[in-house]
Amino acid sequence: MEYVDPTHGPASTPHAGGKSQSPVDIVSSRVKAVEFDNTLQFKYGPDLTKTIINTGCGWRVDVHGTQSELVGGPLSHAYELVQFHCHWGNTNSVGSEHTVDGKAFAGELHFVHWNKEAFASCAEAVPSPKGLTVIGVLLEVGEENPEIQKLCDVLPNIPVKDDRTDLPSDIDPAGMYPADRSFWTYSGSLTTPPCYESVTWILFKNPITVSEEQLNCFRQMRKTAVSDSDEVAGLVERNFRPSQSLNDREICECAC
Q: What is the pLDDT of residues 70-125, one digit of tens each?
A: 999 999 999 999 999 999 999 999 999 999 999 999 999 999 999 999 999 999 99
pLDDT of residue 226: 55
The single-letter code of the amino acid at 155 is L
* pLDDT higher than 50, residue 4: no
Write down the pTM of the prediction: 0.93
> Average pLDDT over the chain, rounded to whole?
92
* pLDDT higher than 50, residue 2: no
Question: Which H helix or E strand runs over 43?
Answer: strand 41-43
Which residues, at least 6 apart from 58, have a Cβ–Cβ distance to it below 8 Å?
85, 86, 87, 88, 218, 221, 236, 239
Q: Is 187 helix (H, G, I), strand (E, B) or coil?
A: strand
pLDDT of residue 1: 28
pLDDT of residue 102: 98
Domains of the chain, first to last: 6-254 (3.10.200.10)
Give per-residue pLDDT as tens, 193-229.
999 999 999 999 999 999 999 999 999 999 875 554 4
